[in-house]
Each structure stands twice: as C-alpha cells, then as structure tokens.
Copies of this chain bind each other. A is one copy, B any other.
Amino acid sequence: MLSHHRTCKPAEMATLMEDEVFMAFTTYAAIVIVKMLLMAPMTAYYRMTRGAFANEEDVALKPEEERKKLLRTHPDVERVRRCHQNDLESVVPFVMVGLLYALTGPELSTALLHFRVFAGSRIFHTISYVGALPQPSRALSWVAGMLVTFSMTYRVLSTVLLL
C-alpha cells in the first residue's frame, strides 16, 4: 500500500498537466493573464507621455511649479484604466470558471473553441477600447467573452451541482 501510494503520488501531480484540456486551459489562461498584466505598464506609459499622475511622490523630481499641474486626470489615461478594469471584471472570472470547467472533462475540441474565442475576444476588446474604435466593436468583443464564460459556467453547473 505504501509503495502504491508512492507511485500514485507523482503520477497524480503530473496528471493535471498531462491532461490535454487542462494543458489548453493553462495555456490560454496564461495568455489572457499576461494581456491583462500588460495594461499596467501601458497605463504608466500614458501617464508619463500625457503628464497625468495620481500621487505626489510620483512627481517629486519635476520642477516645483509643474508639480500641481501634473497631478490630474487625462482622458487617455482614464481610457486605458477603464480597459484594465474591464479585464479584471472579465478575465479573472474566465480563469476561475475555466479551471473548474477544465476539471469537468469536456471534449478537447469544445474546450479549445471556448478558450480561443475568449482569448481572441479580449485581445480585440483591448484594441477596440484603447483605439476608441467605433461601436459596436468593443461591445461585441465584450459580449463574445461573456458568452464563453457563461457557456463554461453552464457546463460546470449542469455537471456538478451540489447545493
């Protein structure tokens, strides 16, 4: 029994990462998380080029007469921040539901369809938002991502419901 346990243990740790659906989930989760993380340096870039900061210590090295003027909001910075916020509201639920979805053992092709549509929709959402493309480009890309997450949630709840 002990030797059984010893053999089973490493097999099990590796198993999740040997399952193709879980590997696909891991890949696309990493991609959309990286996309979300890149919004922070993008905000920093817009803050610096537009000269719009939020904290006094961030402008301490500027000439004293400029400092007050730099502590302001700028439409371009606010736009990037709204895009980042939308990522938090959309990407984080996708990753959390997606993990549970992957564990319900869906078909690989079905799972890949969900993950690819989501990743594509979020990349297009960022382009639409930061580029201020005419609507409904941003709205549709947002809806596509939501539909993926709701579809995965439906699968999760219809497979595993214990109230």
Contact = CB atoms under 8 A, between A and B. Distances in A.
Chain A interface mostly helix, strand, loop or mixed? helix
Contacts of A88: 88-89, 92
Nearest to A93: B33
A149 interface: yes
Contacts of A56: 132
A57 B11 contact: no
B15 A16 contact: no
A112 B149 CA distance: 24
Contacts of A80: none
Interface string A1-21: 100110111011111111110
Contacts of A52: none
B15 A8 contact: yes
Q: For the complex of A and B, list the 8 residue pairs with the smallest distance between their C-beta atoms, beginning with the closest.
A: A23-B162, A24-B162, A12-B15, A23-B160, A26-B160, A95-B96, A26-B100, A33-B93
Interface of A: 1, 4-5, 7-9, 11-20, 22-24, 26-27, 29-30, 33-34, 36-37, 39-40, 54-58, 60-61, 79, 82, 84, 88-90, 92-93, 95-97, 99-100, 103-105, 132-135, 138, 146, 149-150, 153, 156-157, 159-163
Given A16-B103, A23-B162, 7 more contacts: A13-B19, A13-B105, A17-B159, A24-B162, A24-B163, A27-B157, A99-B99
